[in-house]
């Protein structure tokens, strides 16, 4: 990003309290994180992952595994 002078702009739509609530629910085992992940893909398949995200009837959360581990679920 530095050498190509690429800019990255992000947004955040949740509050600090929202994140803390989610962390607490996951830590207490009230929500199983695995049940939220519909697809786990290696980073090389990022295009396919974004295509899954555009079809909410087929996906919930798409996890990209930068270490190359991943398989469609």
Per-residue pLDDT, averaged over 6-12, amounts to 85
> What pLDDT is recorded for position 71?
59
The structure's pTM equals 0.57
Rounded Cα distance between 25 and 29, Å, is 6
37 class by beta-carbon count within 10 Å (0-12 exposed, 13-18 middle, 19+ buried): middle
Q: Write the pLDDT tens digit of every residue in 15-33.
A: 999 999 999 999 999 999 8
């Amino acid at each position: 990003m530095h050498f190509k002078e690429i800019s990255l702009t992000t947004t955040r739509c949740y509050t600090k309290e929202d994140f803390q609530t989610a962390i607490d629910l996951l830590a207490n085992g009230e929500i199983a994180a695995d049940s939220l992940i519909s697809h786990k893909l290696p980073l090389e398949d990022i295009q396919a992952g974004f295509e899954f995200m555009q079809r909410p009837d087929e996906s919930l959360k798409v996890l990209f595994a930068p270490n190359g581990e991943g398989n469609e679920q």
